[in-house]
Chain A
């Protein structure tokens, strides 16, 4: 099949060697940006879903799957747009996930473990890496942000919950304590003193007459996936409106 001249030109451009822009630039960019991205993602997560991520007794089946996917998909979505637009890499979500995991891990171990002695099995951070891989994979396959927002966000929410329910399962076992049957995570929440955080502040499932046949978990997952679609577009707005558009304006002016 004949190849047009524009294609040949772009192929050549892709392989062009630059004198001043070598692989060191790549390394410097990816490594330094990792801390910025990780911090931005972690702060966003903490703003919306901090306590759900901090404590096992907050990781419930109603609010946790609704709030957290929304909170963590935002920065990943912005990075997905930027990295796909600039380099055609389906990596934005995974890059955010791995960077945030590193930052969170250091913070959790240092601040919650070493400084204030909480056992790490009470304050472990949720992982979004598996969910991010599926969101990036959907972008690679569909090459569409609309489809990624619809399919990818839903897949993201569901796989995020599965990948975190697996380590959480052990803490949902029933145990005998204070004349009651409670979960292991409930015991962690009461026994390990959280000064100024009385138990009634815990926002977890209380039940309601609107609970759909008692299947709170699945209703929450569906709702959480829907909310994550909205979160995905919040991230797209950040990526497009607050990052790429101003840079484009600046470059044109410059």
Chain B
């Protein structure tokens, strides 16, 4: 085989391998949440009762994502210097396939960032509209300045094409309604292309009728601060024509300025809102549940996490342990072990008075698929929120447990 044929074969092989690699790559459908260290995800924000009001909408139709997020007291000292103070509850989606139309936090409208604090509870509701037809994975997310974005439980949302078309209306203070999808787009393009064409004309003036590369023979022999008029490099006519160019450009800017002043007389700078949302009702609920530091054990053979903790009911009536939630996982109290179920022994009902030792068992492959068992990480800790209910009130009580992995 000749060298030439060998090189050709190698090139074709590389090309084919590249094509196979690209063609066989699956579409990315997750948002990297499993790549963050488990103990950090579990110790930062807990998501409670996340609900999506619909999973299929037409373009322009809305659905609601609501739930509760708690910034844990166990917030690690190495994120946001241990003191989270600015946050943003938003959406994670593959680009603007959905639109965020409304957001309330603890009952008040919250267009942008908010003040946050360790231990505080944020009841959020986001009204989201379908925009781009397709099936999209959408998460609520809590971004905290100095830490990053912490994802809540996600859901697949199908956005169907709206046969009536789709627009995104916004009402101006001046009274008109605009479609945000394409508002001012024609003018923006015309303006940008117009300025580009002036630049192109300037370039054509200098480079097409004049020789360029060979001018170096002359310019290399004359001082820098001369236009070479004596040698015909730049002529008086060039000066005159460039004056016209500059004047024309200035006139265009003047015309544009007059247009914007007349068309949009009311303008204002971009707005920054940052405020502390009011505390939700649950924050002032009586505290009737306390939990001591627990001991956790993870059995990789059965994918089961067992936590032993001392729980005290400081109230007057029996309380029920109804849920354990940590980052994107939720375990509701039940009797049959399995995904999303937590069995509590001796009983999920805890009488008032003396501390009770309870064992929580959660058997779920999600511990590993979501990479939430911090084996191999620098902190063997399981953290989350236990939800207790008594007399119509709820307590969100943090649970921390030292983890002992079983390696067999």
Contacts and interface: CB of A to CB of B under 8 A. Distances in A.
Contacts of A134: 246, 249
Interface stretch (B49-57, B206-214, B314-322, B363-371): B206-214
Contacts of B347: none
A173 B191 contact: no
A173 B99 contact: no
A198 B191 contact: no
Contacts of A18: 214
A199 to B, nearest CB: 4
A190 B95 contact: no
A43 to B, nearest CB: 20
Given A87-B219, A101-B199, A130 B252 contact: yes
Given A90-B242, A193-B93, A129 B203 contact: no
B222 A10 contact: yes
Interface residues of B, number: 103
Contacts of B195: 101, 127, 129-130, 163
Interface in B208-236: 210-219, 221-222, 224-228, 230-234
Given A183-B269, A188-B180, A136 B252 contact: no
A170 B214 contact: no
Contact of B214 (A21, A187, A192): A21
B234 A88 contact: yes
Contact of A89 (B168, B200, B212): B212
A191 B129 CA distance: 9
B185 interface: yes
Interface of B is mostly: mixed
Interface stretch (B100-108, B304-312, B325-333, B377-385): B100-108
A190 B219 contact: no
Given A88-B215, A143-B225, A143-B227, A14 B233 contact: yes
A120 interface: yes
Contacts of A70: none
A86 B143 contact: no
Interface residues on A, range: 35 or more
B95 A132 contact: no
Interface string B164-185: 0000101111100010111111
Contacts of B225: 143-144
A53 interface: no
B112 to A, nearest CB: 4
Contacts of A205: 269-270, 272
A94 interface: yes
B245 A173 contact: no
B389 to A, nearest CB: 33
Nearest to B100: A191
A117 B233 contact: no
Contact of A91 (B182, B206, B249, B264): B206
A9 B132 CA distance: 68
B330 to A, nearest CB: 23
A130 B198 contact: yes
B98 interface: yes
Interface in B50-83: none
B196 A167 contact: no
B212 A30 contact: yes
A14 B171 contact: no
13 contacts: A88-B227, A89-B210, A117-B95, A119-B185, A121-B185, A121-B188, A127-B192, A162-B253, A172-B267, A176-B171, A176-B172, A184-B172, A198-B145
5 closest cross-chain pairs (CB), A and B: A198-B143, A198-B88, A169-B260, A129-B199, A166-B256
Interface of A: 7, 10-11, 13-16, 18, 21, 23, 25-26, 29-30, 57, 60-61, 84-91, 94-95, 97-98, 101-102, 105, 116-121, 124-125, 127, 129-130, 132-134, 136-137, 140-141, 143-145, 159, 162-163, 165-167, 169-188, 190-196, 198-200, 202, 204-206, 216
Given A127-B195, A140-B234, A191-B101, 13 more contacts: A10-B222, A14-B232, A23-B211, A133-B249, A162-B253, A165-B260, A173-B266, A174-B267, A184-B180, A192-B96, A192-B99, A199-B88, A200-B112
